[in-house]
Structure 1
Amino acid sequence: MGFKDDKGKILEDLGTLNFDHQGRSGRTEEENLLAAGLLTPEEAIEIVKCTLGTQHENQAHHQVGYPPIWILKPTFQGETWYVKGYFLAEQTWFISFHPSKSKGATS
């Protein structure tokens, strides 16, 4: 999928609550604010809406190569965010959803 398709699917799934989270070892409150309940789906939608095509990339999953991973780095209210996930079984899965720690930060 490309940028428009990825962004559209993410927004649709956030709006219909058709999403889940990949488990993380002990850092959920820092690495995935949506999973930790520190960010609402409505807030997440507003952040994702700010993503430009130049703030999107696709890559292979670092552990298994599939499914393809998408990364968004939108700027929302002056702060750059890091949003990482994938699509599996018609659902959006989030790995990371947090403000970037630094330029080019990865989680």
Structure 2
Amino acid sequence: MSRSWLRRYAAALTFTENVSASWNPGPSIPLEFVLRLTYNMGTMGFREARQRLVRSLLAGNYQHEIREVVEGKNLLDTGEVSPDEVVALLQRCRGDQYDCAPHHAEPAVPVHVFRPVREGEQWYVKAYLLGKDPDGTDAAVFISVHKSGYTYRGRRR
């Protein structure tokens, strides 16, 4: 899917809270695109999620989700990657390298997934926000920070 195609449809489509049951987008709009737009209605988008995660990292206001196997899955937790490196990864990420899905244990919690590419290698950053602390900074919980194992050859993304 090209970005210009998405921009045209995003500009042409207007969603309201109660979309008519008779509304039919037609066969030219992929169902995945419609579901992604409707699922994320009312929640924060890519830029806001990225900004809030960056602010929490810079303020040192972050935690790591407890998991049985940490090695290789959360390089931020093991100290192999610094918070500044994760900030650089997040700032490198584009909107088409972002997704938001419910947490597996608590569906009401949106989990933000970033897949930036650095030096030809794709990374995987998965986190969620706990909300603001009394001082106004966001608290974040990082689930995963690691290389995805996918490499890009040729043009750099």
TM-score by length of 1: 0.89
Distance 1:101 1:75 in 2: 11
Q: Deviations over 1:20-49 (max 9, x none)?
A: 110110x21210000011111111111111
The structure 1 residue matched to 2:121, chosen from 68, 79, 82, is 79
Where does 1:1-107 land on structure 2 (aligned, <5 Å)? Answer: 1-25=44-68, 27-90=69-132, 91-102=139-150
Q: Where do 5+ consecutive residues of structure 2 fail to align?
A: 1-43, 133-138, 152-157
Q: How many residue pairs are counted as aligned between the two chains?
A: 102
Distance 1:42 1:58 in 2: 23
Do the aligned partners of residues 101 and 31 (structure 1) sit closer, same or farther apart at CA in structure 2, a change above 3 Å counting?
same
Structure with greater proportional helix content: 2
Root mean square deviation, CA, Å? 1.3
1:89 counterpart letter in structure 2: G
Query: What secondary structure, in the 3-state scheme, does the structure 2 residue paired with 1:30 have?
Result: coil
Query: What secondary structure, in the 3-state scheme, does the structure 2 residue paired with 1:59 have?
Result: strand
Distance 1:74 1:18 in 2: 22
Q: Where do 5+ consecutive residues of structure 1 fail to align?
A: none
- Of structures 1 and 2, the one scoring higher in RCO (CA 8 A, sep 6+) is 1
- Taking every aligned residue pair, what percent have the same amino acid on both sides? 32
Q: Which runs of 4+ in 1 moved over 4 A?
A: none
Distance 2:71 2:107 in 1: 26
Contact 2:121/2:150, CA 8 A, preserved across alignment: no
